[in-house]
Amino acid sequence: MTELNVWQYVDDYFMTKLLSENEHLNTALQANKAAGIPEIDVSPTQGRLLYLLAKMKSAVNILEIGTLGGYSSICLAQALPQAGKVVTLEINEEYAKVAKQNIANAGYGPKVEVIVGNALDTLPNLKNAGLLFDFIFIDADKPNNPAYLKWALKLAKSGALIIADNVVRNGEVTNENSEDERVRGVQEFIDLVKANPRIEATAIQTVGVKGYDGFVLAVVN
């Protein structure tokens, strides 16, 4: 049995044991596949982790950079209190349409605002509107991760939690000679985290149905 098969088997085990069946999330994945959206959502166990982190944080205002088909948006919305809201940014209009429908089907339409456009163009609008967030999930194009972090810090409340996905990239993050712009973006992102005195952070490596990757978890002081 290969490593990947073992990881998938263990993920299936934990999903069966710890995660209840979620019709809305399953339907979202099916709709995404039918629409031709890349199958790069967080896994069910990772989505549950995002939900639990947001719930432990008692997050009220959540910012997500990178909506895709809305799978993680739904996971985060499930953690919100009655007055909570998720603002999620997506550059692809077709993906955003599917995400909006998935979110509405899950019953979270009033709680989730999908903003279409380049995030580096729409993030300043959030700042100009005076919005601040206590939970920020970064999961978009990796070359722009450094810029997303800078904006996240401008939009973060004191004590906000910032989560960044896909930071291990099969171990390539340690390759100082990498010419992959995605790897370079993650490396610069991590260097910025290290250099910023406002941030306390760690990284967690993950294996499972999505292969070998990981998250950065940070608190903004």
CA 146 and chain centroid, separation? 15
State the DSSP code for 42.
P
Tell me the Ramachandran region of residue 199: left when phi exceeds 0, alpha when psi lies from -120 to 50, beta otherwise.
beta
Q: How confident is the model at residue 114 (pLDDT cuts 50, 70, 90)?
A: very high
Strand, coil or helix: 162: strand
Q: 157 Cβ partners below 8 Å, 6+ apart?
A: 61, 132, 133, 134, 220
* Domain positions in the chain: 3-220
Strand partners, 136: 63, 162
Across the chain, what does the average pLDDT equal?
96
Q: What is the dihedral of CA 210, 144, 186, 131, to 10 degrees?
A: -80
pLDDT at 24 over 70: yes
pLDDT tens for each residue of 143-163 = 999 999 999 999 999 999 999
Rounded average pLDDT over 137-147: 98
pTM: 0.96
Is the domain defined by 3-220 classed in CATH 3.40.50.150?
A: yes
Q: How confident is the model at residue 196 (pLDDT cuts 50, 70, 90)?
A: very high
Q: How confident is the model at residue 1 (pLDDT cuts 50, 70, 90)?
A: low
For 62, phi and psi rounded to 5 degrees?
-115, 135
